Amino acid sequence: MSIAVLGGGAFGTALAVALGRKRAVTLWARDVTGLHDTRQSPRLPGVTLPDAVTVTGDLNEAASRDTLLLSVPMQQLSTLLDRIATPLDGHALVACCKGIDLAEGVGPSALIARHQPGAVPAVLTGPSFAGDIARGLPTALTLACGDEPRGRALQEQLSTPVLRLYRSDDMIGAELGGALKNVIAIACGACIGAGLGDSARAALMTRGFAEMMRLSARLGARPETLTGLSGLGDLTLTCTSDGSRNYRFGLALGRGEDFDPSVTVEGAATARAAARLSTELDLPLPVCSVVADLSQGRLTVRQAMDTLLSRPLKDE
Ligand SMILES: NC(=O)C1=CN([C@@H]2O[C@H](COP(=O)(O)OP(=O)(O)OC[C@H]3O[C@@H](n4cnc5c(N)ncnc54)[C@H](O)[C@@H]3O)[C@@H](O)[C@H]2O)C=CC1
Ligand SMILES: O=C(CO)COP(=O)(O)O
């Protein structure tokens, strides 16, 4: 079973490095100039691709592999899938991106099913910084696939001695955990950046997690998926480490500083998608909604905090 990683940013490169330590891997990137010359991605400086990784700029050639790891930002997934000219019937398409598509209001597994109805969609997600994976540090992730035999095969194929995959058949829960934790991480970064304290951050993480559970349950996920690596696990990492870009974006908002717009911050678009779902489903998601406004400059951190604190008192 052959493997290609589609996307030469930090995460795609890290996955290619980790898998390239045990087997042949193809890495496709939109711009391969640097990757060909230096065997390094500008998004993951200092990490060199092993010899077992073949770099290509030919998307349809890379897409002929049996397993495709889709590692572009979520809002670019549809564009990437559009560019693949051939039907990928029977291929496993593993979403490694975290978010909700703003245009369609759905996660990556539904986008894959719409673009490639004959493929087997799967989701790889959980607490993992690209740099940690590339350095070979121990990491545990969730591999979710609705087709049990294919899920087992993917678990075997994509695990390494230090990258431990737990299997699930709940793709909706796995992808919503990874998507929504980024939104809560922006809120936590803003809280710390504005000097509101660790107690407030703990409250945001807990109430944010309640929103993750509420929206996921409404969209058909199982609660135990959200309490696993893809939900609580990744929430913990991303809300407490300035290794996270979402958290750092929040820190900058809280401090009133500029943030480099070229950095991938998945939680900003996902907050907007979640706020829309909140309205459509008549489901309160107050933290997601203030993050949507905050990240579009419609609220200050002080106003966001006042909005959350002035809500009517209620049962936990
Ligand atoms: N960096 C990390 O630690 C982790 C990232 N992820 C997820 O992986 C996904 C990708 O993130 P990163 O690799 O970190 O982002 P990145 O910003 O490092 O790289 C994104 C890459 O995608 C490429 N790209 C953008 N639009 C494209 C398109 N239409 N077609 C082809 N390539 C395109 C860019 O050229 C860039 O190389 C995100 O959803 C992120 O949440 C998941 C786990 C860890
Ligand atoms: O998803 C991640 C860790 O699991 C990476 O987080 P950031 O996208 O916030 O850097």
Catalytic, out of 43, 65, 181, 201: 181
Q: Is the CB of 128 under 6 A from ligand 2?
A: yes
Average pLDDT over the chain reads: 97
Which tokens hold the place of 162? 């230090």
Which tokens hold the place of 62? 């890379």
pLDDT class of 4 with cuts at 50, 70, 90: very high
Mean pLDDT to the nearest integer, 247-274: 98
**Residue 85 pLDDT > 90:** no
Query: Tens of pLDDT along 95-122?
Result: 999 999 999 999 999 999 999 999 999 9
Mean pLDDT to the nearest integer, 250-264: 98
181 is catalytic: yes
- Ligand 2 binding pocket mutation candidate from 11, 72, 132, 244 (most atoms within 8 A of CB): 244
What is the predicted pLDDT for the residue at 281? Answer: 98
> pTM for the full model?
0.98
Q: Which residue, chain included where needed, has tokens 């803003």?
A: 190
Q: Is the CB of 71 under 6 A from ligand 2?
A: no
Mean pLDDT to the nearest integer, 153-168: 98
**Residue 34 pLDDT > 90:** no
ipTM of the complex: 0.99
**Residue 33 pLDDT > 90:** no
Q: Whose CA is nearest to atom 34 of ligand 1?
A: 9
Mean pLDDT to the nearest integer, 238-260: 98
Query: Tens of pLDDT along 36-59?
Result: 889 999 999 999 999 999 999 999
d(CA 124, CA 188): 24
**CA 8 to ligand 1 centroid distance, Å:** 7
> Which residues, in sequence order, are bridge partners of residue 248?
none
Q: Is the CB of 244 under 6 A from ligand 2?
A: yes
Q: For ligand 1, what atom is nearest to the CA of residue 79?
A: 29
Q: For ligand 2, what atom is nearest to the CA of residue 182?
A: 9
Q: What domains appear along the chain, each with residue ranges and CATH number? A: 3-169 (3.40.50.720), 179-310 (1.10.1040.10)
Query: Which residues does the annotation place in the binding site?
Result: 7-12, 30, 98, 126, 128, 130, 181, 234, 244-246, 266
What is the predicted pLDDT for the residue at 268? Answer: 98
Mean pLDDT to the nearest integer, 183-193: 98
